[in-house]
Amino acid sequence: MTGNMSQLFADDVWPFLDHLTDNLGPVVRLRGLFGARQLYVFDPKALQHIVLKDQDIYEESPLPLIFRRLIFGPGLFGTLGEHHRRQRKLLNPVFSIAHMRHLTPIFYETAHRLREGVKIQLQTSPAAEVDILAWMSRTALELIGQGGFGHSFDPLVRDEPDPYAEAVKSFMPTSVRIFSWQIVLALYVPFLFLADRYYAVRRVLAHVIPWLPHPGMHDMQVIVDTIDRTSREIYAEKKRALLAGDDDVQMGVEEMRDLMSVLLRANMEASAEDRLPEEEIIAQMSSLTFAGTDTTSNGLARILHLLCLYPDAQDKLRAELLEARNANGDQDLGYDDLVELPYLDAVCRETLRLHPPVPFIGRQTIQDIVLPCSKPVSGVDGSVITAIPVPKGTEVVVGIYSCNRNKDIWGEDAAEWKPERWLGDGVPESVTEAKIPGVYSNLMTFLGGGRACIGFKFSQLEMKVVLSTLLSSFRFSLPKDAGDDIVWVRAGVTYPATRNDMKKPSMNLKMELV
C-alpha cells in the first residue's frame, strides 16, 4: 500500500538513504503509493537530463506544486513551463552579486541585534544553554524581512510576538499534520488550477474548512490568511512609496535596497510581455519567505552543531574571522572580503554537501523518455543497463543527499565532514569530471537548471554574515552529557530535535563569550 514511502519519508531516513547510496545506486527502482513506478536517481549523467536537458519532461510532482500554489498563490514555486520562466527572468537580476553587496550592511545590522539578544540571555549565566535553533529561526526570518522586503518582523533584542512570524514558525509542523488532506486536495482541485482559479479555490476552502473535523486544517487556514494579509500590506506600502511624487519620499526610495523594492522597480520598467501582475508579485513574497527561512536557519544550526563536534575546526574558523576583522580595523567585513575567506567558505560548502537541508525532491515524467546513465546499473535479471526507458507518469526522486555523498565522485571519505577537501587541491578530479548539474560548487544542494534555487547567493551571504558575527563573539559547545541526544529529523526541511521529542524542532548548545 505504501511501497517504499514509509522508508523514504521516515523521520530517521538516513540509514535507508545510506543503503541506497552505498549498496544499490546510482539508479534504484522504488515503489510509491499503491505500487506506483518510482526511480531514485543520483547518477550524474542521468541528473543532467532530469534537471537540465530534459527538464520540461521531468516536471515538478503535482502534489507539492498544487499545495504550494494553494498556500502561496502563483509564485515561483507554484508555476511551470513558460509561466515559470517568465517569472524567473524578472527575478534573476534581483539576486545578482551587485544587489548582494548592497544587502551586506543590512544583514550585519540584523546579525548585531542577534548578538545583543543572545548576550542579554547570557547575562543570567556566563555560560548558559541556549536553544540556538530558535535564535536562528528568528534571525533567518528577520534577514528575509529586512533584505527581502525592507520590513522588520522581530527586534531580536527583546521578545515581541508578531502574527506573521508565528505563522511562518507554525507552517512546517502544521503542513505535516495535514499531509493526508494535501493528498485529497491534490486529487480534487487540480482541474481548477488549469484555469488559474487558485484564489477561487481559496475562497471556497475558507468556507468549507471550518466544518472539517481536523484542527490542523483550521490552523493552516489561519496561517494562510495571516501570510496573505501581511504580504498584501507590505506590497501596498512599497508600491505607495515608489509611486509617491514627493522628493523626500523618492530620496528614501533610492535607498531601498531590499529585494522587493528592486523587483517592483524592475517590474514597472519591464516590457508589457515580461511584466508580472500584482498577484504574482505578492505571491513571490510569501514563496521566497518560506523557501529562505527554514533552509537558512536549519543550515546555520547544522554548521554550529558540527563546530561543536569538531572544536578544532571551530577554533580555526574563529581565528580566520578575527584575523580578517583585525586587518579591517575591527570593522564588519565587506561582501568581497567575506565571501573570499577560504576556511569559512570551506565550512559552508562541506556542510551543505554532506547535510543538504532538503535531501531529495520529486519529479514526474509527462511523456515516455529514455534516461541515460554514466555508469551501468544492474537489472533484476542480472542484465547490464546503460539507458532506462522511463514511461510517462513515472515518479523520479532526485537523490540530492546521495549525489553529494557518491563515493565514485567524492572518494572513500565522502561520508566524512572534512572542510579541508575544499582547500588547495583537495577536491578530486572525479568531481569536475562528473559534470554534476548543480548550480553551486558541483553539488546538488541547490539543484540546477531552470528550477535551481534562485536565492542561493542570498542564503550563502546570510549564513556567512551570521557566522562571522557569532563566532567572533561566542564559543559554542555541546551541553554536558548531551551525547547523541541531538538528532536530525527528515521533514520538508531537515530540522534538529532531541531524541525523546522528535516532533519539536529545537537544539540546545552551550554558549559563552570569547
Place of cell 543503503: 19
Burial (CB < 10 A; 0-12, 13-18, 19+), residue 337, is: middle
Enumerate the β-bridge partners of residue 29. 39
CA distance 307 to 384: 44
CA–CA gap between residue 510 and residue 476 (Å, rounded): 6
Q: What is the largest CA-CA distance in the chain?
A: 76
Question: What is the rounded CA–CA span in Å between residue 376 and residue 10?
Answer: 29
Exposed e or buried b for every residue in 354-393, given b needs 16+ CB within 10 A?
bbbbbbbbbbbbeeebebebbeebeeeeeeeeeebebeee
Pairs from 98-101 (Cβ < 8 Å, separation ≥ 24): 99/257, 99/259, 99/262, 100/335, 100/457, 100/458, 100/461, 101/334, 101/335, 101/336
Radius of gyration of the chain (CA): 23
From 492, 423, 481, 467, select the one nearest 108 (Cα to Cα): 467
What is the grid cell recorded at 315?
577554533
**What are the E-state strand segments in 242-315?**
none
Tell me which residue of 300, 494, 279, 514 sits closest to 400, measured CA to CA: 494
Distance (Å, whole) CA 259 – CA 78: 20
Dist. CA 139–CA 155, nearest whole Å: 9
Cβ burial 244-265 (10 Å sphere, 16+ → b, else e): eeeeeeeeebeebbbbbbbbbb
What does the DSSP assignment read for 106-163?
Answer: HHHHHHHHHHHHHHHHHTT-SEEEEEHHHHHHHHHHHHHIIIIIS--S--SSS----H
Angle at 361 between CA 75 and CA 225, to 5 degrees: 35
Find out whether 373 is annotated in a ligand binding site: no
Please choose, from the candidates 219, 266, 333, the residue with its C-alpha nearest in 3D space to the C-alpha of residue 88: 266
Task: Please give the Cα distance from 96 to 457 (Å, whole number).
Answer: 8
486's grid cell: 541531538
Strand order in the sheet with 474-477: 127-131, 508-513, 474-477
How buried is residue 188: exposed, middle or buried, by Cβ count under 10 Å (0-12/13-18/19+)? exposed
Whether residue 359 contacts residue 4, with contact meaning beta carbons closer than 8 Å, is answered with no
Task: Return binding residues.
Answer: 453
Task: Return binding residues for heme.
Answer: 453
